[in-house]
Structure 1
């Protein structure tokens, strides 16, 4: 670094900025400050917003308007808010630069309710946005237009229409995502397929896109003009216009800064230094958006360039440079992938060997085809047909890879200490490899290649050992988490043996709770499979998420066995679920009263419904499971109530009496309160029989049923039961070694 003064200065500044963000919080980062609107209003309050449109997006049935310099009228007060989002259902004709007024119910972005779930608040906070609203009508109060930016937006919409016309909606949307950064209409299954296989980066405007388009245009202009300066200016203007059109992302800003350094070096007759450009880009991004320090995209973008700049040169004399480039990038970003996404696509290195070399062809054909389509349709259609073929090939690669064994390794989130240890190991290996040089004779070359492959393999093995948490839970401990799925139920259990259980899974107010609430949590915990999924009864808020997980196939978390109550209490929903499970190769078990599952020291007893129950299917027929581990006892009740609760009360009395000779201490540590705390469940007679120390209630926030009901909560409190409820506590986790127990709520910052 002695001869890299600018690089050293930028690195020091980047470290200082990172420390200021990490330690300073809201004292340094204005995006973390509590705004006046956040202090005065709550989600659901009606507000009148007046602000200037600085960006907009067109969706199929609404538009998104990004506002700045906002004045918000709330209860006769005028409050200032730097940025705000309005979702306009009327799709009013609005241009960038217009000032608009809109009325609606404000909604503040929220933190995740479960470990591993998407942090909506942090995502928008990074952009300085804290609130949004849906509006039925938007009024333009000032006709001022930012002509350049609005012209670029209009051009983008016309370009998008050309791609849709010639490629169809499905692949047209995919090419729009790749070329224009517009991912709104991409089939979610295809998008997830790309991400799962490690090629999702091609859907984000990144350094790969900008290097192909920006450097390509720069070289073309330089040859046409015969001047580095003229070519450089043309390349810079074109690149900036392209970034404005596609969106100003972290990777785009990083690539643009490095592009400027490269062109500047050419124009000044100096040597381009990647390290200096990368360090300067990091400083600029952190000055522009300090909170991107916590963004996975930031670390992936800079980590990939670091891999190419620092790791790849060690392999530069080896054949198959594309393979070693992919290896180098993966070595650099592996901890980032696991820390932010909790899984590793095993075949991504191989897939990128095909995907990345074809990207220049895809982008150039897309550009040429789009231009030609406006003049002569048949050449444009021919070029875009080739794009269709390439995209079909990409999808075929992904679908083939996802069917291979261990297509993805779900690791869970590694600890920060593990990540630090990994990078210390990587640095040591870089220093060690740097001491070796490949000799020119063929025999030695083969030995060196073999040596490099062995060292690389060992590095991956050691890295995964360091980063991947153990497959079992805490040694000798049972872990139970009541997930916040909204108005529904979902309870995850991990046995000391490592076997996993899911008791119910569904929601009536959270869309795709399986995909967005349950599966991210499972990945965070390193759970790549649910061994047993229990369904208490056929209500959708207890089973639609599990049905969704089955439907998602290889994209979701697989389920080994489906456990249902006895067939006499099945309704149509349970019958259909059982058929769906069997069609997907999932074994369906029936668990009746008196049967139990033994998993080492863990026992799961079915107490209800028994043969004596003659009631109707539904809530009263919910399967109730008593969990025993050492001296720890927990009762899972589904939605049992009425006649079913009376039968369960009798079964509990009988079981307690039978277990007294088996070390039962007479205490029920945890009760999953039935039917979300409904008034019609958890009667005084049932509580007298169970007398739980802790009660867990799963319900949606501000749900229309009033769950948990105050009468039920009072009955529980009157017997000394301490309540944990997902509306206030988020996910609630219980740990026990069979003699001692701890319990914590995620929303209190004490998540697992």
Structure 2
């Protein structure tokens, strides 16, 4: 008897079980619970032991389903124990226990654990303008620490920052260092990158800063097999980098290093921004795409050489493993390489593989090695993208005709269908001519590529909007031509690197088409980035919306009956998206006026937020790297739900007050810029950059001077007290715009870098008693005089600086009625004024010194 297979029957036959999926989900659950709830580590052991006892009981009672649940609870406990051991439990002599927040002198002996990073900073990228533009970053595995006259045995990693290029040091070298030891610096503003947590995930609990190369003493270079292997690996990478620099142009070599080796430090800021805004940054990340293309490239070459499966698998193992080693075996490469290894293991024996199981056990291996990758956005995006692709491959509508017929042929083995009947059906459904077959194949690849690009973008855009505050729909179109171009580019690049170990001349021949393909890729990226509606920076989505969006999208995985356009989860997702867009427009309860002095080191950025949501920024810069000041302002705005600046006041033209403004203008809509007539000095590069960028972004610039007012609404009054319209004082600091903000009977006075003649002129005007005074010129004693203290009589004095100097003197000058706070130890300082005049102060960090407590 012949049995016909329906779609549902076929689906149930083809679908294989994936026991690895619930196992890894249980492991992740244990990690998440331990990270957010557990205060002690024994609970994981207790859960595993209890669940194991119940599992034995269920096995004895032959309750298979309850037995499975008990075993999954065992895995939950194991995940919790592993995370607790990595994150919370440390060695009793870990060097992090000796470090404090305040740096102190220390002498450390240890071994260089990673390849030294040699960094040559540009002037605009330097975070320390007074220091050397050349520095080295080392990761040291510590052995000894000297405290006073006594040496202690220690363990743990230390990140060392050395002024100068330590080009003679190699991985594995034993060194002795003299510097200032401290704990890694944590965030100082809302939404700021947590550098301390980033280092902690790598097992680094302290940082050491050395002023010069003389503070680094080489002791010995081990010659054991492990050290020699590590040095050979580093030498191979350096050879690849030098080959790319020699054979490619200065424009494409940095991109090639990022594409092939994962090193983006030599790319210009414009190139990085173009890849980010075009939605194509994933191309530069050494991830599954790179490793998969390398594995397919090696497999294709082996197939051309007619090599057996076993030798092909060995070749893939060797080259993928070597590539992972050359790229310093970063987490994305390890994830991708492990997935390729597991998939390739089945080839020599022609064993079937289950993609869901492969992905699950890859995730299990990665999370066992480092459980904190559970909270790594890069890891989440990587596994999410692969999961979406696997989901698409299981949907019958997205499979090619050949794939569907092959599935039916496999399923027919369970029925009375003969091979002749299956072959006849196959011949009837396949294209009859070569032209039709080529057209159908081309259309199938275009459809599949579009589907993969769309669904990967759709699922990942929620995470990207949350973490990176960016939505780039243009990436959907840009990735269609870019992925084939990037595939060819990667194959040419891999060929060039591989051949370069044998013949530099032949590698130079391959470099010619490699250069062309890189330029084509950059052209696609630039076109996509310049598309005006192609990307949008967005505020942080609320958590309730994120949870709802993922719930809607998750239904697409578990309920896939019927066409996608009629899918309930699909409709729910679009409805939920509309709710998320409308929610910010819903009337809100009245908010207080919020004035935040952001922590930007030696610089100034003050954000004013009105009760109705209008925003005004007073200055935006810091000494050295203006990109950090730009990031601090942006993250604060996005985390507080703002997507634009209604106004921007630039007090004067000093670098530490304006060098982050150009970046803000490129990423945020700005309503208007206010500057004084004295600001417009075309001989200053900072002024030219700000005004040129404002013109390019079509942001109007308005001149303002003494007597002007800024309308912010909600009863807020902003008055300019200084400077006058026609008189230019010397130096520029004396021309700083002094802004008085009044609301509900409270007063804030923002003074920029006011000093000397400008300060004397202000003090001649009627006294302005204020609640909060921004200390002029970062707490300088020359600007913060006793005359100013008597003139303003502030309740609060806020210093925006990168160190705590002068605070004691300032307290004595302003008297006991004035609370003096500094962003150097408090982080961002925020004042809120309610409509009834109540004023409260909140600091982002608790002071590290014994200052007086914060009071209202």
Shorter-normalised TM range: 0.7 to 0.9
Q: 1:625 aligns with which of 739, 747, 753?
A: 739
> 2:276, 2:532 → 1: CA distance?
17
TM-aligned CA distance change 1:249 to 1:542, over 3 Å:
same
TM-aligned CA distance change 1:37 to 1:337, over 3 Å:
same
> 1:201, 1:541 → 2: CA distance?
33
Note the C-alpha offset of 1:404.
2.1
Partner of 1:133: 209
Partner of 1:38: 96
TM-aligned CA distance change 1:370 to 1:250, over 3 Å:
closer
TM-aligned CA distance change 1:468 to 1:549, over 3 Å:
farther
Q: 1:538 aligns with which of 646, 653, 657?
A: 653
Q: 1:413 aligns with which of 540, 548, 554?
A: 540
Partner of 1:397: 524
Q: Secondary structure at the residue paired with 1:718?
A: coil
Matches within 5 A, 1:225-374: 227-310=308-391, 313-314=394-395, 316=398, 320-372=447-499
How big is each residue's C-alpha offset from its partner over 1:550-576, in whole Å with a ceiling of 9 and x where there is no partner?
7xx64x445442212244997964865
Matches within 5 A, 1:651-666: 651=765, 653=767
> 1:732, 1:154 → 2: CA distance?
48
Q: Secondary structure at the residue paired with 1:607?
A: strand
Note the C-alpha offset of 1:617.
5.0
TM-aligned CA distance change 1:583 to 1:6, over 3 Å:
closer
Q: Is this contact kept in 2: 1:98–1:143, CA < 8 A?
A: yes
> 2:578, 2:777 → 1: CA distance?
42
Q: Is this contact kept in 2: 1:565–1:591, CA < 8 A?
A: yes
Partner of 1:77: 151
Q: Secondary structure at the residue paired with 2:659?
A: helix
Q: Is this contact kept in 1: 2:262–2:327, CA < 8 A?
A: yes
TM-aligned CA distance change 1:350 to 1:313, over 3 Å:
farther
How big is each residue's C-alpha offset from its partner over 1:81-119, in whole Å with a ceiling of 9 and x where there is no partner?
322334563535344333333333335321122222222
Note the C-alpha offset of 1:528.
4.3
Answering whether residue 207 of structure 2 is matched by residue 109 of structure 1, we say no
Note the C-alpha offset of 1:126.
0.9
Matches within 5 A, 1:563-582: 563-567=674-678, 573=684, 576=688, 579-580=691-692
Answering whether residue 619 of structure 2 is matched by residue 504 of structure 1, we say yes
Partner of 1:747: 845
Q: Secondary structure at the residue paired with 1:502?
A: strand
Q: Secondary structure at the residue paired with 1:169?
A: coil
Q: Is this contact kept in 1: 2:617–2:648, CA < 8 A?
A: yes
Q: Report the number of matched residues.
A: 716
Partner of 1:443: none
Note the C-alpha offset of 1:684.
4.7
Answering whether residue 562 of structure 2 is matched by residue 436 of structure 1, we say yes
Q: Any stretches of 5+ residues in structure 2 without a counterpart?
A: 1-14, 42-83, 121-133, 400-443, 848-853
Q: Secondary structure at the residue paired with 1:326?
A: helix
> 1:595, 1:473 → 2: CA distance?
32
Q: 2:835 aligns with which of 734, 738, 749?
A: 738
TM-aligned CA distance change 1:436 to 1:152, over 3 Å:
same
TM-aligned CA distance change 1:437 to 1:567, over 3 Å:
closer
Moved more, 322-331 or 687-696: 687-696
> 1:641, 1:108 → 2: CA distance?
36
Note the C-alpha offset of 1:243.
0.8
Q: Is this contact kept in 2: 1:257–1:277, CA < 8 A?
A: no
Partner of 1:514: 629
Partner of 2:77: none
- TM-score, with structure 1 as normaliser: 0.85
Q: 2:197 aligns with which of 105, 110, 122?
A: 122
C-alpha RMSD of matched pairs (Å): 3.6
Note the C-alpha offset of 1:64.
4.1
Partner of 1:20: 34
Note the C-alpha offset of 1:465.
4.9
Answering whether residue 748 of structure 2 is matched by residue 634 of structure 1, we say yes
Note the C-alpha offset of 1:164.
1.4
Partner of 2:25: 11
Partner of 2:701: 588
Q: Any stretches of 5+ residues in structure 1 without a counterpart?
A: 439-447, 657-666
TM-aligned CA distance change 1:471 to 1:672, over 3 Å:
farther
Moved more, 392-401 or 38-47: 38-47
Note the C-alpha offset of 1:309.
2.1
- TM-score, with structure 2 as normaliser: 0.75
Q: Is this contact kept in 1: 2:548–2:576, CA < 8 A?
A: no
Partner of 1:51: 110
